[in-house]
Amino acid sequence: MKKMIFIVITITGISHISLAQEIPGKLSGGLESNNQYYVDDKATQAKAPRDKIATNSYFTLNYTLKNFYAGIQLESYLSALMGYPEGLKGTKLTHRFAGYRTDKIDITAGNFYEQYGNGLIFRSYEERQLGIDNMMDGVNVRFTPLKSIRFKASYGLQRVLMDNGEGIVRGADLELDPLDLLKIKHNWGLTIGGSVVNRYQKYTGPDDVFPPEVNAYSARFGLTHAHYDLNMEYVSKSADPTDLNKNIFKKGSVLYINQTITTNKGLSMDIAFRRMESMDFRTDRTQKDNIAVVNYLPALTKLYTYSLPNLYPYAAQSMGEIGGKADIYYHFKRGSTLGGRYGTKLSLTASLYRNLDTVRLKSKEGFRSAFWRFGPTALYNDVNISMERRWSPQIKTIFSYMNLNYNQGYIQGPGYGMVNANMAIADVLLNFDRKNALRVELQHLWTVDDEKNWAAALLEYSYAPGWSCFAGDMLNYQSKKIHYFSVGGAYNYKAARVSLSYGRQRAGLLCVGGICRMVPAYSGASLSFTYNF
């Protein structure tokens, strides 16, 4: 704590002086602090940890001077919020980097984030809410000799919790726009690309043929047109025995195909297919959960923002999964019969995932699977219809209905079964005047499985600019009859935001952007502060 404060004071002091003396260059950055006070709760059996106060804080500072840039990030977990990986603890200057950037070249030394293609082969990124930061520590180069030739090369160690891990990652990526390159006139945009990623981790065990290195290759193809887009990528990975896959020597692959179709008539859609097997790719073969992951394999399903659909969130199965998703949007124009005076927006989403059709093998390979065949076990499927309509300057509504089938046993672990649920949601926004607004959410979930029916309600009142408060409750009224209530408020002023809330959190999967972590049940007060400059 003392060390952290010293560092922060030094940094802010320097920034202060530099501004006062008008040293050239620009500073930007931000502070995020999330604090929690835990209490024991008999109803949910949530127990407060020994240290009842937990704080996760992040302070970033970036400096740029013409083509030069540099930055740092300080993180402190004193103590870490409940549910974060155990290894996140203490205070440390986790990021430090410097670089040089022009239109043609960008070189970063130190910590960097990078993504090749769709991230299926390599993506380093930060997701604070999930405790994910798989940033690299090494050298990254992006070279763009011509606009239509883009080359990236990266190497380094990966951050694992508070330190660098032992696995070494090297990679390169090339992307070309061949039609531009050959100066062929065209209405279509065409992009081809490919990547190679190698990871090495020392092996000291007894197996003579055990591979200390894993190689992955990817090829991708993109077409763009005013009304049509195609994005395809295929990744292949060499045998990668890990603790998680019980040390089988199975090669991995992912095939991803996405198409987007848009029209001038208010209809547009977006259809994705993905099949993957044995694609868990880490710098450390002994790790699990979201730690030391090299690539990005999110669940390709609709991201729900309401609380009840999020009781059963799908999590991508990197060992084996086949399926897809379709999103269709339609806009009834203003003034049409169904559009009304302000227009009506309809959306329809459906997704379906199954496991692979596999045969167990006695050899080291572990299993074999048919490429194009859907497996016998349903993992997840959902259908969602939603209608958004403004009725008058004062009233706007969103009505949604959905049905989902969730293989809870497969996704969350043994002891659970299949959940089939229906949900209806009404979301009403009342704009009383230019400052005062009230949003009301009513949700109901019907199921005979798991914790049976649920009901939820939320009221959110806002006074622009700046003030808002909310009160909500969620109740499994046919089973445990626990009220998962929460109340709170927030204040925004320019770049600053403070929020305070009190309530109960249910144990379960917390998902952000399709990546999930398990969170324990807890009760208590939470205070957050964010500011940037």
| Interacting positions 270-289 with another protein (CB under 8 A) | 270, 272
Q: Which member of 141, 153, 179, 490 binds another protein (CB under 8 A)?
A: 490
Shortest approach of another protein to residue 181 CB, angstroms?
A: 14
Q: Shortest gap between Cβ of 359 and another protein (angstroms)?
A: 31
- Which uninterrupted H or E stretch holds 346? strand 344-360
- Buried-exposed string 149-184: b where 16+ CB fall within 10 A, e elsewhere: ebebbbebbbbbbbebbebbbebbbbbbbebbeeee
Is 290 a binding residue for another protein by CB under 8 A? The answer is: no
What are the distances in angstroms from CA 81 to CA 24, 160, 293, 486, 531? 39, 18, 22, 18, 20
Task: Please list every residue from 29 through 58 that binds another protein, using CB under 8 A.
Answer: 29-32
Give the DSSP H/E element, type plus range, for residue 18: helix 2-20
The 8-class DSSP code of residue 6 comes to H
Strand partners, 159: 164
Please, are residues 201 and 233 in contact by the beta-carbon 8 Å criterion? no
> What is the distance, to the nearest Å, from the Cα of residue 42 to the centroid of all Cα atoms in its chain?
33
Q: Is 261 in the site for another protein (CB under 8 A)?
A: yes
Interface segment toward another protein; rule CB under 8 A; list 158-166, 242-250, 326-334, 400-408:
326-334
- Contact, 342 vs 390, CB < 8 A? yes
Least distance to another protein, CB of residue 83, Å: 19
Q: Which is nearer to another protein, 142 or 285 (CB)?
A: 142
d(CA 286, CA 159): 15
- Judged by CB under 8 A, the residue of 91, 111, 462, 476 near another protein is 462
Report the greatest alpha carbon distance in the chain: 74
363-402 residues in contact with another protein (CB under 8 A) are: none
481 counts as binding another protein under rule CB under 8 A:
no
340: tokens are 């009304």
- Please, which of residues 121-160 interact with another protein by CB under 8 A? 123, 125-126, 147, 150
Minimum gap (Å) between residue 260 Cβ and another protein: 5
For another protein, the binding residue among 41, 166, 213, 229 (CB under 8 A) is 229
Q: Which of residues 215 and 492 has its CB atom nearest to another protein in the complex? A: 492
Choices 208-216, 244-252, 473-481, 490-498 (CB under 8 A): range interacting with another protein = 490-498
310 binds another protein (CB under 8 A): no
> Contact at 8 Å (CB) between 39 and 48?
yes
Part of the chain binding another protein (CB under 8 A), chosen from 283-291, 363-371, 446-454, 493-501: 493-501
C-alpha 260/C-alpha 268 separation (Å) is: 8
Considering the rule CB under 8 A, would residue 114 count as an interface residue with another protein?
Answer: yes
Q: How far is the CB of 208 from another protein (least distance, A)?
A: 38
For 55, residues 6+ apart whose C-beta sits below 8 A from its C-beta are 33, 34, 35, 36, 76, 77, 78, 79, 81
Interaction with another protein in 501-530: which residues (CB under 8 A)? 513-514, 530
Q: 256 near 274, Cβ under 8 Å? A: yes
Question: Which of 164, 238, 247, 262 touches another protein (CB under 8 A)?
Answer: 262
Q: Is 189 helix (H, G, I), strand (E, B) or coil?
A: strand
Using the rule CB under 8 A, give the single segment among 165-173, 213-221, 278-286, 466-474 that binds another protein.
466-474
Count of positions on this chain that bind another protein (CB under 8 A): 93
- Segment (H or E) for 408: helix 408-412
The 57-96 site mask, x for binding another protein (CB under 8 A), equals ---x-x-x--x-x---------------------------
Interface stretch with another protein, choices 3-11, 353-361, 378-386, 478-486 (CB under 8 A) = 3-11
Q: Give the number of other CB atoms < 10 A from CB of residue 264.
A: 8
Q: How far is the CB of 300 from another protein (least distance, A)?
A: 7
Report the alpha-carbon distance of residue 174 to residue 113 in Å, rounded: 17
**Closest approach of another protein to the CB of residue 224, in Å:** 5
Query: Whole-angstrom Cα distance, residue 114 to residue 195?
Result: 13
Site for another protein in 419-448 (CB under 8 A): 429, 431, 433-437, 439
Q: Which amino acid is at 344?
A: T
Residues 173-192 that bind another protein (CB under 8 A): 189, 191
